[in-house]
Amino acid sequence: MGIGGLAFLFPGQGSQYVGMGKTFYDRYPAAKEVFDEADDCLGFALSRIVFEGPEGELVQTRNTQPAIMAFSVALMRILEAEGIAPGIAAGHSLGEYSALVCAGSLSFMEALRTVRLRGELMYEAGLREPGTMAAVLGMEPREVEKVCREASAHGIVEPANYNSPEQTVISGDLKAVKAAMQLARERGAKRVISLEVSGAFHSSLMQEALPGLETHLDKIEIGEARIPVVANVDARDVRDGEGIRRRLKEQLMRPVRWSDSIRHIAGFGCELFVEVGPGKGLSRLLKKIDGNLKGISLDDIDTFESFRHSPLADEFWAQR
């Protein structure tokens, strides 16, 4: 069973939707406590934005990041109350901070304040250095890298997320990304999709956001993780606080190596990957990375209830 057989995966920006977590908030005291803590910590009603919208307010990066984290941590706390906890964790971009809360390396309050600031800094960087992102589907990562190198004659364009063997997200200057999108289509990509984002995340254009994030990360307490957390930047498990701090700084401008992260976790012998947070995006990617891996998303309450009371959950509880 390797490291316990169970891995938690935490989603990142783009998975949010108005109303996420409301049924959990109404039914589980642990979830209500998390959202109430978030409201108190941030000094405004984040829960209202999450549950009621409007969508235009929720999708503002400074709100999106703490909102997704709050829902993810709420689900995690309910699972923990049932005795269901992972042996290893990972999170996609923003989700890495949720994974660190799960591992006990960051307190929820400290992580919440950090991702709120991170969202503000990323948004401001996007205003100073306008950029965009696009998903390239049905093309090998090496070919996408080649396309980016050629399109860089028009400006900065770089791989931002290695999501699966057939899905790579690129990020950079508007003109350069547009050129890369056209080249990818010409080279045989099945689909090329422009993403609605406020900046060129995980690219060199986030340089403006880095000093503020580094200063903040240097001030906060980042402890040793109770369980390994697989970092985005190198797809390697890390537990020491200083190693985590360094990787969080690097993560802002470097690509998310998600495919490699999943393969690394699978190497521990994990039998089930549980997506803890909004959406089903990471569960879908799981099958594209390795069709033999088993994953489940706990985004909706019916699926969540079924999992909590399933023999599978009992099995993982019995292992601990």
CA angle 175, 205, 69 (to 5 degrees): 115
| Structure confidence at residue 308 (pLDDT) | 79
Low-confidence residues of the chain: pLDDT under 50:
1-2, 318-320
The residues that are catalytic are 93, 202
pLDDT digits 0-9 by tens, 281-313: 999 999 999 999 999 999 999 999 888 777 766
Phi, psi for 104 (deg, rounded to 5): 80, 10
| Structure confidence at residue 316 (pLDDT) | 60
- All structural domains of the chain: 6-126+206-319 (3.40.366.10), 131-198 (3.30.70.250)
Give the strands of the sheet with 167-173, arranged side by side: 157-164, 167-173, 131-137, 191-195
| Structure confidence at residue 1 (pLDDT) | 36
| Structure confidence at residue 4 (pLDDT) | 64
Contact indicator for 38, 70 with CB cutoff of 8 Å: yes
Relative orientation angle of helices 61-81 and 29-42, to the nearest 10 degrees: 150
Residue 320, judged by CB atoms within 10 A of its CB (0-12, 13-18, 19+), counts as exposed
Give the strands of the sheet with 88-91, arranged side by side: 237-238, 229-230, 88-91, 6-10, 272-275, 295-297
pLDDT digits 0-9 by tens, 110-169: 999 999 999 999 999 999 999 999 999 999 999 999 999 999 999 999 999 999 999 999
| Structure confidence at residue 263 (pLDDT) | 97
Please tell me the pTM assigned to this model: 0.96
Report the DSSP beta bridge partners of residue 131: 173
| Structure confidence at residue 317 (pLDDT) | 54
Beta-carbon count within 10 A of 267 CB: 11
